[in-house]
Copies of this chain bind each other. A is one copy, B any other.
């Protein structure tokens, strides 16, 4: 996929850095390429649901964020992204030492971008596919 803004990585990293929720989760950008962004978050009890696994809210937040930034990597300078909607299927308990969301652009349009996000629990036994998301993202012009 072709990036129209050569500085896309800096744009994504600057936006990510001011997201209170991602800092709060201890999440980090593990990969930023044209059309592909990965976000990883280490397990801690504050991110759990009632059975001690990662809460679906964390799973969906990092998948949505990875999808939004994957979309942003392909947009012209001066763009920002808003999530229009997403749908997520929770395939297996989100357990592991770390949760990794991989956002990939499926179709990049002038106004709307469709992304797929897959989330994996990573631990001693390897990777477990725990969720799959499809998200629709809209481009908006960054304020002045």
A57 to B83, CA, bound (A): 11
Residues of B within 8 A of A65 (CB): 57
Residue ID in chain B nearest A22 by CB atoms: B55
A85 within 8 A of B: yes
Copy number in this complex?
Answer: 4
Which chain A residues (20-56) contact chain B, with CB distance < 8 Å? 20-24, 45-50, 55-56
Which chain A residues (87-115) contact chain B, with CB distance < 8 Å? 87-92, 106-107, 111-112, 114
Chain A contact residues, majority secondary structure: mixed
Contact A20 B89 (CB under 8 A): no
Contact A55 B132 (CB under 8 A): no
Contact B60 A45 (CB under 8 A): no
Residues of B within 8 A of A73 (CB): none
Give chain B nearest CB distance to A73 CB in angstroms. Answer: 15
A136 to B84, CA, bound (A): 9
A60 to B117, CA, bound (A): 16
A90 to B86, CA, bound (A): 9
Contact A136 B21 (CB under 8 A): no
A141 within 8 A of B: no
